[in-house]
Structure 1
């Protein structure tokens, strides 16, 4: 493409140079034509033939003795010969030959050299020569006008060609400028992508700092409780309380560690392709397995699993059991986190056009419209007053990535009756 554009630009420049050269030639030819028009030889020839005819007419009509200027035949004869010499001058030779009058003039000159010159015949010949000169002069004037028109036409064509070539060059220049702007926009987008990458790295660094702090806190509780148990081993109630506190802290620590490992794994494998260990699974069994992992975390609220009318059970799907259970666990955990105490969690299963549809709905405050676009971004948790629980904003991002690995979709929306609804779509067959 660039080679063709360079060739086109070179051709346009050569074309413009050719047109400019033609303009220069046309201007020079017009100048010469103008000088030629200012030196009209036909006008001199008309004057000379008129004077010769006048002198010959005087000789023809003179019968009186020589007296004065008009009666001096010798003088009139000399003037007539002088006019003929002017007409036969070398500078006028080409004009007289074109007019066809040179031979007639030579014949008249020869007749004047005799004693019995026939001035009546000479007058007739001079009259004919005058007509020939006038006709030739008109022909030359017409030819010059035609040449003038041709030069003007050529000049107009050249100017139009230069304007056209200049317009094409301007168009080419504008295209080049557009490409430069496009390249600049692409460079700006690349810089923005680099800035986002830098921001993501900063988020990871902040995430590691937060996790380090959060991991130290439960470890400190474990250490402190273990020390107290060592000093108060005889007190059974105290031991039970401390034991429950240790169990809660350990569970919290395990959840945070598992979430960190999941986040790192998803980030490392995103966009590089993952080999799924797909097998034929009963979707209801996967849902029950995901709910079993919560134990007493959701015992305070009912979880209802509903099926669309006409759906055959069991509903078989080819998927990676581990990852699908993880997706469901993330969705149920998110619904549990944002639902009021005792409010139910609704799981609805349907299928259409070879796709599994599984919706997990909560009874929470819903999702603000401005947060829907960024809800699945890593580490995004909204405003501090909107955040609930001790999560770090990775659950939904991990869930969407796992769903994409399966060729499905994960979307979020607000329910009319209140709360949020996350809809999982997976192909029934991989």
Structure 2
């Protein structure tokens, strides 16, 4: 069984401090009540002096004895009670205090019914008790409550900065880990102090450095390898073109054309790999500008013969990459959607620009909608087709991320698929610096 005392860690630590302080106060109170008011042996002069004052009065009648005790009580500022040899109350001062029966054979403190006094044995077995003066004291709960409240306030003021300082560093580390997990491998935590939290930040930075180096080396190797592939591919394409021009046999011509198509597909794959590497590595700052996404969509839609709906929507981006994104989505819809009622639309919604490509083809099964953007994934469950490089939708995802957007795929009603790319909208384009 667990108890949730706060959503944030600093609240849990803070409330834990306060709970411990409150528990200590309660325990201290009960210990004080049990052990804090124990009887003490009075100083001998006090007990002896009291007996010397009262013993001469014992010969007086009880009524006169009470009057004499009252006079002495006023001088001592303490109520007095005399008990006889049988232990019963015999005489008292102005205020009757103490129980009806008391036996005390020696000097010392005596406590009865919550009252406390000094007992002094007299001759013939009598006893006189000087009760502790009654002082108007506030109730214990009020006095103790004031001190408890003051103590808790001090603890609260002192513990909050301590708890907040500890958890603030954890929050900063969490932010660094979240940012790093989203793909920014350059982010690092700032170690503060020399405790376990600081050591955790150092360990995270060390692991992040190593992973960044490994990923960077992998991307660099992939980019260089892909770039080197293009030179022999170009030579192969040229050689095939020369052979095809000289070939008179139709069979050889068909073979040459098939090989040329395969070579072009490999070249396209290499281009996609290079583009993905550039977008993910972020080592190259690509220039951006304010562009009309609807205008770009119209151009690409006309190329594929696809109707385009919407209106002008400005975003900040790279027009060449945006064209590539739309082209890949339309190419995917035409081939995997079997070209059935492919539509392209651009609209503004809630401060965002949504670009949507829909078709009425077989669609994408729900199990594949999360992984359809992974490299080299080819959905074959619905269509059985394996055309393409398997990188087209990965390029779409990375281009969308480069522009601060995202892409998702859903069902297009009862049939087909709908790819939706969302971009931040630009309401007002800054004025141009160019002269008229």
Aligned-partner Cα distance in 2 for 1:216–1:399: 23
CA distances 1:192-216 after superposition (whole Å, capped 9, x unpaired) = 8768865996799599779979x98
3-state SS, counterpart of residue 356 of structure 2: strand
Matched, 1:304 2:306: yes
CA distance in 1 between partners of 2:156 and 2:343 (Å): 65
CA distance in 1, matches of 2:275, 2:380: 24
Q: 2:377 aligns with which of 372, 377, 381?
A: 381
Structure 2 Cα separation of the partners of residues 337 and 127 of structure 1: 119
From 56, 72, 95, give the equivalent of 1:133. 72
Return the alpha-carbon distance in structure 1 between the equivalents of residues 344 and 56 of structure 2.
Answer: 121
What residue is the counterpart of 1:70 in the other structure?
Answer: none
Cα distance change of structure 1 residues 232 and 278 upon mapping to structure 2, 3 Å threshold: closer
Instruction: Tell me which residue corresponds to 2:100.
Output: none
Q: After superposition, give the CA deviation of every residue in 1:381-403 in whole Å (9 maximum; x if it has no partner).
A: 3878578434344x334434544
> Greater strand share, 1 or 2?
2
User: CA 1:422/1:255 → structure 2, altered by over 3 Å: closer, same or farther?
Assistant: same
Mapping of residues 406-417 of structure 1, within 5 Å = 410-417=407-414
Correspondence for 1:263? 276
Give the Cα–Cα distance (whole angstroms) in 2 for the partners of residues 203 and 137 of structure 1: 94
**Contact 1:348/1:360 (<8 A) preserved:** yes
Within the alignment, does 1:327 sit opposite 2:335 as a pair? Answer: no
* 1:276-313 CA-partner distances (Å, limit 9, x unpaired): 14456872x65444764x8xxxxxxxx431546xx6xx
Question: TM-score when scaled to structure 2?
Answer: 0.50
DSSP-derived class of the 1:359 partner = strand
State yes or no: 1:348 paired with 2:356: no
1-structure distance, mates of 2:166, 2:347:
50
Give the drift of 1:327. Answer: 1.5
Compared CA separation, residues 139 and 261, structure 1 to 2 (3 A): same
Aligned mates of 2:362, 2:224 — CA distance in 1:
28
Correspondent of 1:275 among 271, 287, 295? 287
Unmatched tracts of structure 2, length 5 or more: 1-9, 81-94, 96-115, 118-130, 186-210, 430-436
TM-score after normalising by structure 1 = 0.51
Write the distance in 1 (CA, Å) between the matches of 2:361 and 2:416: 4
Within the candidate set 244, 264, 277, 1:251 is matched to 264
1:369 and 1:200 map into 2 onto residues whose CA distance is 36
State the alpha-carbon separation in 1 of the partners of residues 230 and 271 from structure 2. Answer: 17
Structure showing the higher helix proportion among its residues: 1
- C-alpha RMSD of matched pairs (Å): 6.2
Mapped contact 1:42–1:137 kept (Cα < 8 A): no
Q: 1:30-109 residue pairs with structure 2 within 5 A? A: 31-32=39-40, 39=47, 41-51=49-59
Q: Deviation digits for residues 137-159 of structure 1, max 9, x if unmatched?
A: 67355896565767896799469
CA distance in 1, matches of 2:297, 2:66: 127
- Tell me how far apart the structure 2 counterparts of residues 286 and 155 of structure 1 sit (CA, whole Å): 78
Greater C-alpha radius of gyration? 1
Distance 1:31 1:331, change over 3 A: same
Using CA pairs under 8 Å that are at least 6 residues apart, name the structure with larger relative contact order, 1 or 2: 1
What SS does the corresponding residue of 1:39 show, helix, strand or coil? helix
For the residue of structure 2 that corresponds to 1:344, the secondary structure is coil
Q: Deviations over 1:89-122 (max 9, x none)?
A: xxxxxxxxxxxxxxxxxxxxxxxxxxxxxxxxxx
Structure 1: which 5+ residue stretches go unaligned?
Answer: 55-124, 295-302
The secondary structure found in structure 2 opposite 1:304 is: coil
Partner SS for 2:306: strand
C-alpha separation in 1, matches of 2:145 and 2:352: 69
- Give how far 1:247 is off: 1.8
* Distance verdict in 2 for CA 1:126–1:179, change over 3 Å: closer
Q: Distance in 1 between matches of 2:221 and 2:164?
A: 45
Distance 1:243 1:380 in 2: 26
Question: Structure 1 CA distance, aligned partners of 2:343 and 2:176?
Answer: 42
- What are the residue-to-residue correspondences of 1:214-229 with 2, within 5 Å? none
| Aligned positions, number | 328
